[in-house]
Amino acid sequence: MEQLEEGLTNLPEFVFYGKLDDDYDKHEPAYIDDYLNQCYDCSSKDSIKKYVLEMVRNYNRYSEYINHNSQMKYCRFLKHWLFRKKYSFKLNPRNDHNAWDRCIPCVWGKLEQKNSQSKCDFDNENYPNAIVSMRIYLDEYCSIMEQLGGKNEIISNKEKCLIYNKKKHYYMNYILQMISSISNDTTFKKKYFTIHDNCSLNKIDTLFPEIPCTFEGATRVDASEESSYMQTCPQQEQVECPPTEELTVTESTMESFSCSSTQIFFVIGITFLFTLTPFGSWLHNRLKKRSIVLDNLSDEITEELLEGNSNSTDQIDESIRRYISYEPF
């Protein structure tokens, strides 16, 4: 199981993506003068040249996989890296934000011209940083799901089933964190949540299927082990081995598992409702107004009670003074 999990951590596309941020060796040159001369907006901005250099070097690394069966995976992870760099560039207030949009797509187009085979289109979308991170997690999860062989293979293999559920909860947690951190004023597009046809949050039921890890084979193994233990008990002392309870999955267990999954998807639905639709802001305003009205009403009731208590206290004091008896010495 550890070997399988280690293999999933070191998938080729993951290793490729991890190397894109490596410090480049001097023996790995990238000649960018031709690109800078052809793309005027690049040559006029020193701040963008560093990013052009890194992009050209990493594109050259990607070009080694152009004829690979998984070419599109390497293409996507290269673009994930480039979108992170775009956010880093625009986060610096000293940089001219328009320089990226004018320069990088131009250089990318020149790089693609040299590639007459499989293309890697770069749309230069203005993804929020949370969306960029969410798409990376989603793409990684889909690669793991594919490597495990899909739902049918996972159902029939106990080790894969256990690893799948572990990975599913891990990636669902991070994807939800990224979605919940998106600001309310962000404009969303449906394609933000789609990597490819089989990897999309629009198909969440098939993307995160419920696969309980219950196997009949495991029960039979436990029974055989119990029998062997009974035979090894010392007969001269007439010691009886305590019967072992067979682990079974009850309906209540399945219901609790289903309930927890339902709660997870309910959170996803509520998050999307509040962040992706106008209903969220409308409901927020309604609840805020209601809270203000209740607070004002509570203050009025409190004032009336205080006034009532004060009047009652005065009346009691007057009554006490009125009926105090006086006894002469």
List, for residues 172-191, the tens digit of each pLDDT value.
Answer: 999 999 988 888 888 888 88
Helix, strand, or coil here: 163?
helix
- According to the model, what pLDDT value does residue 223 have? 43
Between CA 193 and CA 200 the distance in angstroms is 6
pTM: 0.66
- According to the model, what pLDDT value does residue 199 have? 95
Give the residue-averaged pLDDT of 143-155.
93
Residue 267 falls inside a structural domain: yes
- Note whether 259 and 131 are same-domain residues: yes
Between CA 146 and CA 152 the distance in angstroms is 11
Domain-terminating residue out of 125, 156, 176: 125
What phi and psi, each to the nearest 5 degrees, are found at residue 195? -90, -50
List, for residues 269-282, the tens digit of each pLDDT value.
Answer: 555 545 554 445 54
Residue 240 falls inside a structural domain: no
Between CA 282 and CA 184 the distance in angstroms is 12
Residue 242 falls inside a structural domain: no
Between CA 101 and CA 86 the distance in angstroms is 9
Confidence of residue 80 (pLDDT cuts 50, 70, 90): very high
| Better pLDDT: 213 or 298 | 213
Between CA 117 and CA 136 the distance in angstroms is 25
Residue 241 falls inside a structural domain: no
Q: What percent of the chain has pLDDT over 90?
A: 38
Number of domains into which the chain is organized: 3
Candidates 130, 260, 222, 255; CA nearest to 185 is 130
